[in-house]
Structure 1
């Protein structure tokens, strides 16, 4: 991509992220590095997909954000008004775009190798446009953004569904609270399809497809027919939606969902990180965080009991510390009603949300390249350097 376009475009994205507070300072640095990795590609496609995903995803995040904030709780308890993920961190940025960045850099170098070979040997077989049955790396890039866009739209808009989510990993699709990992709704699936369609449509607008005019030209390739383009569009769109479904399956199985037992709401980790359950949360400095979250719900009376117990413990210098006193290391992980403040609803505590997102993006990118290679009868090994001049 030409620097005269990439530099001001990146600056505008950074300014927008800063002004809208959609990214943390670390997230802005990560986004800038990601934009640079996409901008070095000679095609406009990778950078355009990054911009479309960022703008569309940010827009979906801000849809009825005040309403969404009341549907879940923050793990830190710092916001009595509700939950929501807040600004994206650098980890979240890389979880969605790292795989695409790697594939973009690989394909940029692949095109550089081909161009160099063609200049030295015009008879070398190598296409500089997107040839039919050609570069699998391009399929991987588009598939990455189609999948993460579908997942973002599904998560941000699906939670607003009038119907209660159902757990995709349960045999009877049982109903679960909003925000539960693995919970899906028809609205969420349709939103995911919309997100995938937006990315694939942008890809078709910026993808330099080989056509009849490129046949016989230096760096030309096999042209695409109208039907083949339709198959490509449909396949990538459906694949993006499947990425959203895969994310739900992975989240429902490998990511723990924690519910606040007094409000019945799902607790969301800051920056997509793990949520601590009551046994870990009320120890040490985290007790204040749990207390803050309880003040917004039915746990207010329990907190007052806890405070009273602490005061009584302080007045009685010779007695043992209150069982609710933060200085008492042997206190129980409960409050006045002696019930845990949080409980695990679904999932194993193996991955956090960022791990799930990256695993999904990686799987869908590699899977798309494998399926395209099978359909076109092109070996997956063409994505590696020894085969870069043969596509």
Structure 2
């Protein structure tokens, strides 16, 4: 990307995030580094996809923001809603694309040097050919998947019906904001996010045409059928990424529910939500036994107390010095319980795992379909 375009565009992107308070200070730094990694690429495609994803994601976040804030709770106890995104959240969505963009930029620079050293007078072309660079597929797939997931989460929570847990054999209903909860509205929003990214990719991809067919570094022009295949494949792949994210979240990310309100508790910046050790899935908390906390009905050694001699004294359950005393009111059940999922990953882990896995998966499918070795993504291959 030309510096005359990249530098002002990066500054505008960062300023907008700062003015809208879309990112934390760490998130602003991460976004700047991410924009630089995308702007280094000779094509406009990676940077354009980054900008489109950022604008679409922030717009979806602000749709009925006040309504969404009352549908969940923050881990601090206040209303939910998406706050400024942190550097971890920025990298979770864009780190894979940044790596692929840098790798593909290196490949294109190497080809440019080879063309310059060619004895031919042809200036050459670095267009995108059918059966061409797999890394390009990985970059587009990354943003199609994360855009689908973002719009699905931000707009699906506004669905009229309750979400259903995708990992449940019975597809049971769960509270809004539950990891793994899906709705038809959310799936439609995910498809919209994928369409937005793929449409932008088609506008900025330097496809090989009739003009580049005979030039060095060029390729055969794309047919209409080939373009349709690419569009359909990437669009459906983006939607699949949103579904995979729901499955991963439903299995490996615990959803914590506030017992009193019945709402899901969201961690700040996508991190885990603390819950009492005795709280199991669906409110299966363990009850404390009255004989295990030092307040068991045992007899006293003091002969004047009316108890049998030679036994352990009975501690005073109302004594403030007794650290193991039980409260004199309440049922001692935790206020937060795990609705579903194993507490193995947080939201950022799930997002990165989905984005990276789906990007690599898209390249693997393209490698098989085009009969291009997957090792061609590595420098020097």
TM-score, normalised to structure 1's length? 0.84
2:56 is aligned to 56
Partner of 1:257: 255
- Equivalent runs, 1:116-265 vs 2, <5 Å: 116-121=113-118, 128-265=126-263
CA distance in 1, matches of 2:271, 2:129: 41
Q: Equivalents in 1 of 2:325, 2:68: separation in Å?
A: 35
2:359 aligned with 1:361, yes or no?
no
For 2:15 and 2:253, how far apart are their aligned partners in 1?
33
1:18-57 matches, cutoff 5 A: 18-57=18-57
2:335 is aligned with 1:341: yes
Q: Counterparts of 1:302-313 in structure 2 under 5 Å?
A: none
- CA drift of 1:379 comes to 1.1
Question: Structure 1 CA distance, aligned partners of 2:71 and 2:7?
Answer: 39
Deviation at 1:127, TM superposition (A): 6.0
Structure 1: tracts of 5 or more residues without a match: 282-318
Match of 1:88 among 78, 85, 88: 85
Q: Indicate the residue corresponding to 2:345 in structure 1.
A: 351
Q: Secondary structure at 1:258's aligned position in 2?
A: strand
Distance 1:171 1:45 in 2: 41
User: Looking at CA atoms only, which structure, 1 or 2, has the larger radius of gyration?
Assistant: 2
1:14-67 alpha-carbon deviations (Å, 9 max, x no partner): 111111111001000000000000000010000000000000000000000100
| Residues 2 and 245 of structure 1: CA distance in aligned 2, closer, same or farther (over 3 Å) | same
| 1:114 equivalent in structure 2 | 111
Q: Aligned partners of 1:65, 1:361: CA distance in 2, in Å?
A: 25
Structure with the larger helix share = 1
Q: CA deviation at 1:265?
A: 0.4
Q: What is the rounded CA distance, in whole Å, between the counterparts of 1:71 and 1:365 in structure 2?
A: 32
Does the 8 Å CA contact 2:125/2:215 hold for their aligned counterparts? Answer: no
Partner of 1:100: 97
Gap runs ≥5 in structure 2? 280-317
| C-alpha distance 109-170 of structure 1, shift in aligned 2 (>3 A) | same
Structure 1's 85 and 333: CA in aligned 2 closer, same or farther, altered over 3 A? farther
Instruction: Confirm whether residue 5 of structure 1 aligns to residue 5 of structure 2.
Output: yes
Q: CA RMSD in A?
A: 2.2
